[in-house]
Amino acid sequence: MSMTGLTFGIYPLGVAGTPTGLAVGPKDDYEKIQQALQALKGEGKTLLVRTYIVYMGEDTVEKMLAAAERYARAGLLGDLTIGVHGSNSDLKGWLAFVRTIVREYGAELASLQITNEPNLSFMEGANPNIRKVLVEGVITAKEEARAGNLHVKIGFGSVPDSEHAVPHFWEDLAETGGNTFVESVDYVAHNFYVDMFEAPLPVAEIPVTVERTLRKLREEHLAAAGIPPAVPIRIGENGWPTGRHPLTGELRTGERQAEVLEAVIRSVHRLRGELNITHYSLFGLRDADSSKDDIFHQFGIMRDDYTPKPAFYKYQNLIKELGV
C-alpha cells in the first residue's frame, strides 16, 4: 500500500445536521471561505472541498442543480457527495440525476460520492431499496465518467456499526452488487465521530477507538461486501465540536477540540499504509451559529464570523506536516 501522506479536505459551509433537523446561522461568506481555505492549505498542499447535495425526487432536481452551480461558481466543487432522501425510491429519476451531475460537473470534480450514510437506519438506510440505489448509482456514475473521459473518482459512503446501523448491510451489498459494482468503486468513504455521544474519553483512548473503527471497516465490513483491500478508504466526515454537550452537560473547549482532532488525524495517518487510507476530510470549517452553545451548532474550527479557534492552526500545521 502507498505510504505517501494524506489528502486532506474540509466541509466549508455553515449548515450542519443535528438529531432533530438542521443547525443554521449567519450566511456563508464565500470570500472569507476562500481566504480560510488558502490559509489552511498553504503553499504546495492539497485541500479538497467537500460539499453535499441531496436528491429528494424529480421536483427537487432544479434546486439541487442550482446548488451545484452555486458551489461551482464559488470554487467549492472538488469532493461532492450526492445523498438521497431516506424514503425516496424513485430509481429512474435518481439515476438520471446522477448522470446529469457527472455530465455537467464531472470535469470540475476530483471525486463524486454516491450516498452519504446508506447504512444508517434513520437516514438513507430508511429506504428499503438503498442497496440498489447505491449500487446502480455507483455503476451509472462510473459509466458516465468513462463515457466522458473524465477522471473523477467514484465512491460511496458508510458509517460504523451501532444500534442504528442497517442490519446485514455489507453482506446484502455483496449480493446486490456483483463484479460490475466492485469494479466501479474507486473508494469507500467512512463517516465517524470519536468521543461524541458518551462521557469524555481520555486522549490516550482516542487512537485505540480510531483504529478499532477503521480496522473493523477494512477487515470485516468491506471484506463481507467483496470490496478488496486495493480499494482505498477515505475518512469522509470526522470532527469534534466545541460548546456544551446536551447529554452530559460537558463544556467542550477550543483547546480540547484541537487536542482530540490531532489525536484522530495522527492515528489515521499512522494506519494509512496498512489499511489503505488515502483521504481525511474534516467537518467542518465554521460553526453553524456560535451564539448557540450546543455542540451541533459549533462543529467548526472557526467561529461563524470566520475567526479561528485553536484547532484551525492545529489543522493548518497537520496539513503542512502530513498532507500531500
pLDDT band at residue 87 under the 50/70/90 scheme: low
Q: Work out the average pLDDT over 277-302.
A: 97
Bridge partners (DSSP) listed for residue 234: 189, 279
Q: Residue 21: what pLDDT?
A: 84
Lowest mean pLDDT segment, chosen from 78-87, 236-245, 251-260 = 78-87
Q: Work out the average pLDDT over 312-321.
A: 98
Lowest mean pLDDT segment, chosen from 11-20, 21-30, 195-204, 298-307 = 195-204
Name the more confident of 4 and 258: 258
To 10 degrees, the CA torsion angle through 322, 80, 282, 205? -90
> What percent of the chain lies above the pLDDT cut of 70?
98
Name the more confident of 284 and 1: 284
Q: Residue 1: what pLDDT?
A: 45
Q: Which domains does the chain have, with CATH numbers?
A: 7-322 (3.20.20.80)
Q: Work out the average pLDDT over 242-270.
A: 94
pLDDT band at residue 248 under the 50/70/90 scheme: confident
Strands, E, within the chain: which ranges? 7-11, 16-18, 21-23, 47-55, 79-84, 111-114, 153-156, 187-191, 233-238, 243-244, 251-252, 277-283
Q: Work out the average pLDDT over 156-166.
A: 96
Rounded Cα distance between 40 and 62, Å, is 33
Reduced to 3 states (helix: H, G, I; strand: E, B; else coil), residue 28 is coil
pLDDT band at residue 39 under the 50/70/90 scheme: very high
Cβ-proximal residues to 234 (8 Å cutoff; 6+ apart), any chain: 155, 187, 188, 189, 190, 277, 278, 279, 280, 281
pLDDT band at residue 164 under the 50/70/90 scheme: very high
Name the more confident of 2 and 9: 9
Rounded Cα distance between 166 and 143, Å, is 28
> What percent of the chain lies above the pLDDT cut of 90?
91
pLDDT at 199 over 90: no
pTM of the model: 0.97
pLDDT band at residue 245 under the 50/70/90 scheme: confident
Q: Residue 100: what pLDDT?
A: 98
Rounded Cα distance between 263 and 207, Å, is 6
pLDDT band at residue 319 under the 50/70/90 scheme: very high
Q: Residue 85: what pLDDT?
A: 87
Q: Work out the average pLDDT over 291-311.
A: 97
